[in-house]
Structure 1
Amino acid sequence: CELWHQALAQERPHWPIGLHHGSLARDERRAAESGLKDGALKAVVCTSSLDLGVDFSPVDRVLQIGSPKGVARLLQRAGRSGHGPGRLSRVTCVPASVLELVEAAAARDAAQAEDLEGRLPYICPLDVLAQHAVSMALGGGFKADDFLAEIRTTASYANVSANEWNWLLEFLTSGGKTLSAYPDYHKLVFKQGSYIVTDKTIAKRHRMAIGTIISDASIQVRYLKGGRLGSVEENFISRLYPGDTFLFAGKSLELIKINNMTAYVRSAARAGAVPVWYGGRMPLSSQLASAVCARLDAAAQGVYDGVEMQTVRPILELQSAWSAIPRTGQVLLEQVKSREGNHIFLYPFAGRLVHEGLAALLAYRLSRLEPLSFTWSINDYGLELLSRKPAPFEQALADDLFTTDNLASDIVKSLNEAELAKSRFREIARIAGLVFEGYPGKGKTARQIQATSSLIFDVFARYDPEHLLLRQAHQEVLERQLERSRLYSTLESLQAMELRITTPVRFTPLAFPLLVDRLREKLSSEKLQERLQRLLETLEKQADQFR
């Protein structure tokens, strides 16, 4: 967002251009909003921070930079323009890569077919229910039976059991089995048939903490004996075990330990995983992915309808000549050899979250057959597995590589699920009121919050492993963070579809973005630019020979 704003300001210095995203101060955001409302600004570069909540009648057109990730998101953003009776809403997709031209055409197909994404509700999130119960107790109190009947009228809590409800009441009144000795966790008092809050400190702290939006903390990356390298999201670093390697700041690093929100590292000889930041982690929706696959299937049959598909036609014809274009009922797998090693490119078109879990799962299952170290990269279209020696892929296929059997346990073994659950639990603990973030001006640091929630997590895991908030943390990691249900469906599809295996002698147009994503974290910006320039020149020469 910042880079686009800077580039536009340099290109059109006489234009009044605003900037709007969640990290800006409130006054800066309000200035941009006011400029849109009164027409003082020619344009505003923004993130999804302007998707909802504010109407801007003067806006004529929305420019969607890059992939919208979903059909409903694109239509929602289109609705920010032409906001008035009888006016048309207009959106123009500006692809950031060639394949996003296919996404633009596919998004229009899905929108015209009204194939929109549904909203998957959280089922019985007890942390939110705990917070709501304390809020109701502060507002005059509640009777247990009446409150239970009321919450069962909602979709999320329609099937909440009596045991879960009784457990929650015990947890809020006494702290449960493990926290009963601490008065801070005795939030509710049963008095004259109702549950109320009598402690003024508990009441004050709860009012300060109401809300369910939790921002992800960043982890500082520092040499064990040396200086600071920067920071990565905790969601990424928690997937690694001590001894694992990852690429950051153009360097290959080995994780030594994580302590007090700091990852201590040392230089490593081998490459590893690529950090992923939240802004780039939103996956392609199932609806948009299906529409993209339909467009690619048509292209494989020589049908290129629309200006977008005509524009991307030379690239897809190159993909077909060097390898193949994925067809409906078919999954494409490319095996490429290079100086780096042996590459496996797989294209399920299931979104980056599923591909992240799938890459770890496949690497784990392949390494069980033969000890191998893998580096992987992912995007919305597929994944890359890179190893020095050839992976025993044919043997793995014979052993049912894509089976859904033991999926949950294999995911836990292939990723550091315990650390992921601990990270998720910190959010749950804050929403449920187990952790107090401090008063305005005297807030606790991320390290203090992390230390408190981690301690509570460890206590629950050791002394009360059946704790329902602990169970919720593990379930949400599998279902929300790793999209287990969608991963399960993807594995079933991979078993049912024809596996089209090709062995191109060079990286194909579909493989190139995955290669770039991996190199981006391995090399500095200058070296990456040089490497990409050489690769592009080579590919252009090879493409010219094809033409």
Structure 2
Amino acid sequence: MTKKELFEIALHWFDQQGWKAFPFQKQTWEAFMKGKNGLLNAPTGSGKTYALWVPVVLNYIKNNPDYKTKHKKGLKAIWITPLRALSQEIKQAAERFADDLGTQMTVGIRTGDTDQKERAKQKRNMPDLLITTPESLQLLLASKGYDKTFKNCEAIIIDEWHELLGTKRGVQIELALSRLKSINSSIRIWGISATIGNLEQAQQVLLGPESKSFVNSTLIKANLNKKIKVESIIPKEMETFPWRGHLGIHLLDEVIPIIKKSKTTLLFTNTRSQCEIWFQKILAQYPEFAGEIAMHHGSINKETRLWVEQAIRNESLTAVVCTSSLDLGVDFAPVETIIQIGGPKGVARFLQRAGRSGHQPGKTSVIYFLPTHAIELVEASALQEAVKENTVEDRIPYLNSFDVLIQYLTTLAVSDGFHPEEIFPEIKSTFCYQALTDDQWNWILGFITVGSQSLQNYDEYKKVEILDDGLFKINNRGTAMRHRLQIGTIVSDAVLTVKYLKGGYIGSIEEWFISKLKPGDVFTFAGRNLELVRIKEMKVLVRKSTKKTSKVPSWMGGRLTLTSQMSALLRQELYKASANQASSNELKALSHIFKEQQKESIIPAEEQFLIETFKTREGYHAIFYPFEGRFVHEALGSLIAYRISLLSPISFSIAFNDYGFELLSDQEIDMQAVLDNNLFTMQDLHQDLQKSLNATEMARRKFRDIAVISGMVFTGYPNKLLKSKHLQSSSQLLFNVFRDFEADNLLYQQAFIETFEHQLEEGRLAEALLRIEGQTIIWKSCSKPTPFSFPIITDRLREKLSSEKLEDRIKKMITLLTKK
């Protein structure tokens, strides 16, 4: 069958659906059929799934002209998705096309949710098309005879590649691809990515660093002008001294009419605790929504999440309060409106969420921005610009993740074993390990066979045996089983299951939150008030409570930071306000706050860096405004505090938010000395950071994840997971051993590299310091706190006071400030 005839089959099917194929879809079919690898850049809801399912099926038809009568069994294509929630959706799309063409092709799903019976069935007889996750793909590589499973696989498609890039799950994919390419050299590799800043690099990470010179790789961009309409919910009244959390819920009455006029609305919150609060408040104030509103976040049980997703598709829900658990790919055609509660902190995240509405080609996506405090309206104005300019963040790939490599080699040793001389060139062909040296490689081989230098006396670290023919293999069944249980790179705090006393699973919650509660305490979870009865093994046993007051769980992942692109856009908006060029409605709405700010201080212009000092009954405050995001400010605050303490012995408490940081002390800082001694210099940055932040302590925490991923610490068997404090103490013990006796241990060194590069964003911090060095520092000695400083001060109080006390305290502060 000719290519033209094959395309006719697909186009005819599109006609039957009442669709028209986009140029980018046809381009992708064309490239795929020519045997090319590539990356498809297409926005959410543009038909990217059919851009790659169609050629997979057409290729099968081309190779099997009798496809309607004779079915050739065996795995032909793998579709990798980062989210289990997407697999059902993708399966339906693939089946729809394959069934309508009468191909007899089967589609299967293999994720953490797939039951044992289905897995066993797949082992005997693989489906033609397999939808899986990065972790489940690694588990397939851990099964005996995996090369037979993959030998006829013609394509592997990685969906949402922008989500995997810059994570260790992305590194897992790179390693798996290096193996699959060796098993079948003609396998086609395709990624699907939404827009990111470094698309060309994203393609290189996916296809390997050599791919840029390959003739058989291509980057296809879907030039669909997706219309996005951004509207801010601007409060009618705003206090001159804004603080976080105050505005959000107060705007509830503004949100309800938006929900009522749309078929379905998704309300995105940045954290699970915020999600729980909004769900409760809407039901408390508008009980008529009972049965029409639901909640969706990653800790709610699977059945409830699937029910919510299906209910959105069936149009039986008016609104869903959710977190990033609904960010990706799931196709909800009925969703008309998105409400983003609080700054999303990143352009890509905002655009991804906007794309959840109008999730069909050609439709406009409508997203409302609801500020949780007034200054977040500057973020809204910046996002409007980002949408206009199409500015999106880069995703920074990992390099030399030794922990993931050790896990991968152990996986190969568990299945059929490996010969190092065969595997080393494969690993070197990946982006992550392109610079791996012979010495590092030999260290890693030594590590998996005899343990590292300081662990050689302990048998538990001697996992892999070297057989007579030089094959590296694990023959111990216990070792193999423990390894299979621990495959993956997502290391979270120990998670406990929440259950009713009389049975009934509600969801899962992080141990660090529950460990703060005592029996009888009431907390809100999955939209219900629950009383803690007791904790038994890894189960939190609860009963329903009628108490009105409760604690809302917070999750460790809850604090997002501004991305560098978002920070730059935010500063541009403030520069406009400084020059009285505020053109957006959001900036105009803040004019009274800007006016108040300028009475006492300034709004910094592009060439200025602002420092404010003032005294309150709490002590002497110094506030610095880099507008670089909370992670950079945490590091920068510690750095400046450390450098000031070298000038004169003085101790500080440090507070920070996305806009700036505060140093609070009981004695006055000699600010002139700070300016004279150029404390924002790049000189000795790395050493000063290490000293100021107790980088060893941060690396120690980071090392826990590395120890788990590399298999040095075992997390436990299902239902008998180790508590996080046990994991922490085991990994700390190892960390201390390496620190004292083996400082050149690659995993120990990796903990420090990751702390600086990924957690503290040292590169971004250096850029911020370079910018500040080129600016004029304006120091304003103020008589009272300014509107810009107020959110930082109140954030610090939040850590100490309950929300009722905090609200009273802030009201008094505002009364005092406005009297002055």
Q: Tell whether the structures are fold-level matches, with TM greater than 0.5.
A: yes
CA contact (8 A) 1:293 1:326 kept: no
Please say if 1:160 is aligned against 2:404.
no
| Separation in 1, partners of 2:667, 2:512 | 33
CA contact (8 A) 1:131 1:431 kept: yes
| Separation in 1, partners of 2:740, 2:514 | 29
CA contact (8 A) 1:333 1:346 kept: yes
| Separation in 1, partners of 2:452, 2:615 | 57
- Provide closer, same or farther for how the CA distance between residues 178 and 73 of structure 1 changes in structure 2, counting only shifts above 3 A: same
276-285 vs 214-223, which moves further: 214-223
Matching residue of 1:250: none
| Separation in 1, partners of 2:709, 2:779 | 48
CA contact (8 A) 1:361 1:410 kept: yes
- Which of residues 478, 481, 496 is equivalent to 1:201? 478
TM-score, with normalisation over the residues of structure 2?
0.58
- Provide closer, same or farther for how the CA distance between residues 222 and 13 of structure 1 changes in structure 2, counting only shifts above 3 A: closer
CA contact (8 A) 2:348 2:392 kept: yes
CA contact (8 A) 2:513 2:555 kept: no
**Post-superposition CA distance 1:242-274 (Å, at most 9, x none):** xxxxxxxxxxxxxxxxxxxxxxxxxxxxxxxxx
In structure 1, give the amino acid aligned to 2:743. P
CA contact (8 A) 2:567 2:627 kept: yes
Alignment of 1:144-293 (within 5 A): 144-191=420-467, 192-216=469-493, 278-293=556-571
Please say if 1:475 is aligned against 2:753.
yes
Matching residue of 2:282: 8
Residue 506 of structure 1 and its aligned partner are, at CA, apart by 1.8
CA contact (8 A) 2:339 2:369 kept: yes
Residue 541 of structure 1 and its aligned partner are, at CA, apart by 4.3
| Separation in 2, partners of 1:313, 1:280 | 31
SS of aligned partner of 1:377? strand
Task: Give the paired residue count.
Answer: 493
- Which of residues 665, 672, 676 is equivalent to 1:398? 676
| Separation in 2, partners of 1:221, 1:195 | 43
| Separation in 2, partners of 1:343, 1:304 | 30
Residue 375 of structure 1 and its aligned partner are, at CA, apart by 1.5
In structure 2, give the amino acid aligned to 1:215. S
Residue 34 of structure 1 and its aligned partner are, at CA, apart by 2.0
In structure 2, give the amino acid aligned to 1:315. I
| Separation in 2, partners of 1:478, 1:94 | 33
| Separation in 2, partners of 1:83, 1:153 | 38
7-16 vs 43-52, which moves further: 7-16
| Separation in 2, partners of 1:415, 1:221 | 28
CA contact (8 A) 1:369 1:392 kept: no
Matching residue of 2:408: 132
| Separation in 1, partners of 2:703, 2:515 | 25
Alignment of 1:518-537 (within 5 A): 518-537=796-815
- Which of residues 352, 359, 370 is equivalent to 1:76? 352
Matching residue of 1:118: 394
288-297 vs 192-201, which moves further: 192-201
- Which of residues 316, 330, 336 is equivalent to 2:614? 336
**Post-superposition CA distance 1:158-207 (Å, at most 9, x none):** 21111111111111111121222223222222332432222211111111
- Which of residues 304, 316, 324 is equivalent to 1:28? 304
- Which of residues 635, 641, 644 is equivalent to 1:363? 641
| Separation in 2, partners of 1:210, 1:39 | 38
- Provide closer, same or farther for how the CA distance between residues 31 and 105 of structure 1 changes in structure 2, counting only shifts above 3 A: same
Residue 533 of structure 1 and its aligned partner are, at CA, apart by 0.7
Matching residue of 1:40: 316
- Which of residues 766, 774, 799 is equivalent to 1:496? 774
Matching residue of 1:308: 586
Residue 279 of structure 1 and its aligned partner are, at CA, apart by 4.3
| Separation in 1, partners of 2:425, 2:589 | 58
Matching residue of 2:788: 510
What's the Cα RMSD here? 2.1
In structure 2, give the amino acid aligned to 1:112. K
Matching residue of 2:90: none
CA contact (8 A) 1:300 1:320 kept: no
**Larger of the two Rg values belongs to structure:** 2
| Separation in 2, partners of 1:327, 1:442 | 57
SS of aligned partner of 2:799? helix
In structure 2, give the amino acid aligned to 1:155. F
In structure 1, give the amino acid aligned to 2:298. G
Identity %, equivalent residues: 42
| Separation in 1, partners of 2:698, 2:512 | 14
- Provide closer, same or farther for how the CA distance between residues 193 and 53 of structure 1 changes in structure 2, counting only shifts above 3 A: farther
| Separation in 1, partners of 2:425, 2:808 | 65
CA contact (8 A) 1:358 1:487 kept: yes
- Provide closer, same or farther for how the CA distance between residues 112 and 151 of structure 1 changes in structure 2, counting only shifts above 3 A: farther
Alignment gaps of 5+ in structure 1: 231-275, 543-547
| Separation in 2, partners of 1:277, 1:349 | 25
| Separation in 1, partners of 2:606, 2:422 | 52
Greater relative contact order, per chain length (Cα 8 Å cut-off, separation 6+): 1
| Separation in 2, partners of 1:429, 1:22 | 25
SS of aligned partner of 1:60? strand
| Separation in 1, partners of 2:646, 2:583 | 46
**Post-superposition CA distance 1:52-84 (Å, at most 9, x none):** 252222211111100110101101111122222
CA contact (8 A) 1:110 1:287 kept: no
205-214 vs 477-486, which moves further: 477-486
Residue 400 of structure 1 and its aligned partner are, at CA, apart by 2.2
Residue 336 of structure 1 and its aligned partner are, at CA, apart by 1.1
533-542 vs 392-401, which moves further: 533-542
CA contact (8 A) 1:330 1:500 kept: yes
**Post-superposition CA distance 1:495-524 (Å, at most 9, x none):** 121111112222111101001101112333
| Separation in 2, partners of 1:403, 1:343 | 22
In structure 2, give the amino acid aligned to 1:352. R
276-285 vs 152-161, which moves further: 276-285
- Provide closer, same or farther for how the CA distance between residues 277 and 515 of structure 1 changes in structure 2, counting only shifts above 3 A: farther
Residue 320 of structure 1 and its aligned partner are, at CA, apart by 2.0
Please say if 1:346 is aligned against 2:624.
yes
SS of aligned partner of 1:14? helix
Residue 88 of structure 1 and its aligned partner are, at CA, apart by 2.3
Residue 97 of structure 1 and its aligned partner are, at CA, apart by 1.0
